[in-house]
Amino acid sequence: MLALAWPLILANLTQQVIQATDILLMGRLGATQLAAATLALNLTFTFNIFLLGLITASAPMMATALGRRFNAVRDVRRTFRAGLWLIALAMPPYWLLLWHVGAIMQAFGISADLADQGQTFLRAYMWCAAPWLLFQLLRNFLSALERPRVVLWLSLSGIAINAVLSWSLIFGHFGLPALGLVGGGLGSTLTWLIICGALAAVAALRRPFRRFHLFGRWWRFDGQRTLAMARLGWPIGVTMGLEMGVFALAAYFMGWLGTPAVAAHAIALQIAALTFMVPLGLGQAATVRVGLALGRRDEAGIARAGWTAWVIGVGFMGAMALVMWVVPRQLVTLFLADVPANAVVVGLAVSFLRVAAAFQLVDGAQVIGAGMLRGLHDTRWPLLFALFGYWVVGLGIGAWLAFAADWQGVGIWVGLASGLAAVAVLMLARWLMRNRLGLTRLGHA
């Protein structure tokens, strides 16, 4: 499990660091610019995560095929091509939506100034969606073969590329113009184009991978396989979108409380997101290893793969909870200078981070639980769990505490913690009943 998971974990962390670098740099422009870019990114990530869920279905599909037969070249290629078509079909309407995101932000009650600045940033950032999704599809292919290390090295290089490009384009270095928010978006787009192109070249040319001819006759539309991936993937996408959506809506609730609350929420959420990358990677590894065991009809292997990921992930998140509780201020001031002008934002971020410490365990448990069930091709019930946990429990409690009980931003974060706990319990209960429900039978998958 660790041999497969550690490159995925570090790749997740490095990809998150790319985003954190942008937030850190835009924070140097000012709290208003940081808030505008954060609101735009939160809205975008909700849609990005849904599209990611569609192609995430490629991982258990490829893994199960390879578990049945190691040399399943044609089956793997068909699944990969279906992912390409899903990305190609989704991009035009998605780009059109993002081009007019300012109007959507204002419809959520965000001020015209913040909405305009958010749209300015997003019109430069939105073009990275296609290479980012293709990178994730290629990563699923390499993970199914249990060879994800190249993804890690390219992701690490992406940190340096993005830092240099965004820093230069935001503030105007190396002879480049100072583009402010536009520079941050453009730097991310160029970074993902570069590292996606490099990963595509590796998959097409390196010996362990080229036998699959992933891009061979890519223009041929395979309706049957594309529909099969969409059927398996849309509940994953909606599940992931519901989770991301509730965090995005929480950011808009913060917008009603004021710009300092939005900026503080952005910082606390970024720190929590960094720790989340570890159980996310373990969940991705669990999906592959559970899927491989399912293809081999190995019920004991399914149990070992799932529980190993779960125990490692929850243990790690327990350690991170302790760190967040003990040194929250030091973590917050990595993102925002601890000066009198930022005192309100820093204080709010510290209070949010203490709540985030409390939900680390359940956050890890729910994402790994989802990965374990995806390995069994079980995606519909986790969708219902997410709908209930995030939007009924989490949003309901958060909104009530924030506005009716006047807990303000802390109430929103307590609501988020409650929703994550509810989803974690439901995911674990379904995993425990997997044999009784027939989820471990290959015919089900």
Cβ neighbors of 433 (< 8 A, separation 6 or more) are: none
In the chain, % of residues over pLDDT 70: 99
Residue type, 205: L
310: helix, strand or coil: helix
Alpha-carbon gap, residue 143 to 321, rounded angstroms: 29
Residue 419, pLDDT score: 93
Mean pLDDT computed over 403-431: 91
Token pair belonging to 361? 């365990």
Token pair belonging to 202? 């590796």
Give the Å distances, CA to CA, from 202 to 7, 12, 89: 16, 19, 25
Question: Is the separation of the CB atoms in 179 and 169 below 8 Å?
Answer: yes
Alpha-carbon gap, residue 298 to 276, rounded angstroms: 29
pLDDT in tens, 214-247: 888 888 888 899 999 999 999 998 888 888 778 7
Sign of CA dihedral 183, 186, 188, 193: negative
Residue 52, pLDDT score: 87
DSSP assignment of 222-238 equals -HHHHHHHHHHHHHHHH
Half-sphere exposure of 276 (CA within 13 A, CB side): 19
Sign of CA dihedral 220, 53, 383, 109: negative
Rg, C-alpha atoms of the chain: 21
Token pair belonging to 288? 């592959």
Mean pLDDT computed over 58-86: 89
pLDDT band at 443 (very low <50, low <70, confident <90, very high): low
pLDDT in tens, 31-49: 778 778 877 877 787 788 8
Question: Is the separation of the CB atoms in 152 and 7 below 8 Å?
Answer: yes
Residue (of 342, 312, 421) closest to 6 by Cα position:
312
Question: Is the separation of the CB atoms in 269 and 75 below 8 Å?
Answer: no
Residue 445, pLDDT score: 56
Most confidently modeled of 29-43, 179-193, 256-270? 179-193
Assign 3-class secondary structure to 57-74. CHHHHHHHHHHHCCCCHH
Question: Is the separation of the CB atoms in 376 and 294 below 8 Å?
Answer: yes
Please report which helix (H) or strand (E) contains residue 385, including its range.
helix 380-386
More confident residue, 41 or 77: 77
DSSP 172: T
pLDDT band at 101 (very low <50, low <70, confident <90, very high): confident
Terminal-to-terminal C-alpha distance of the chain: 22
pLDDT band at 114 (very low <50, low <70, confident <90, very high): confident
Q: Which of 223-227, 257-261, 348-352 has the least mean pLDDT?
A: 257-261
User: What are the helix (H) ranges across 126-206?
Assistant: 129-144, 149-171, 181-205
Residue 408, pLDDT score: 85
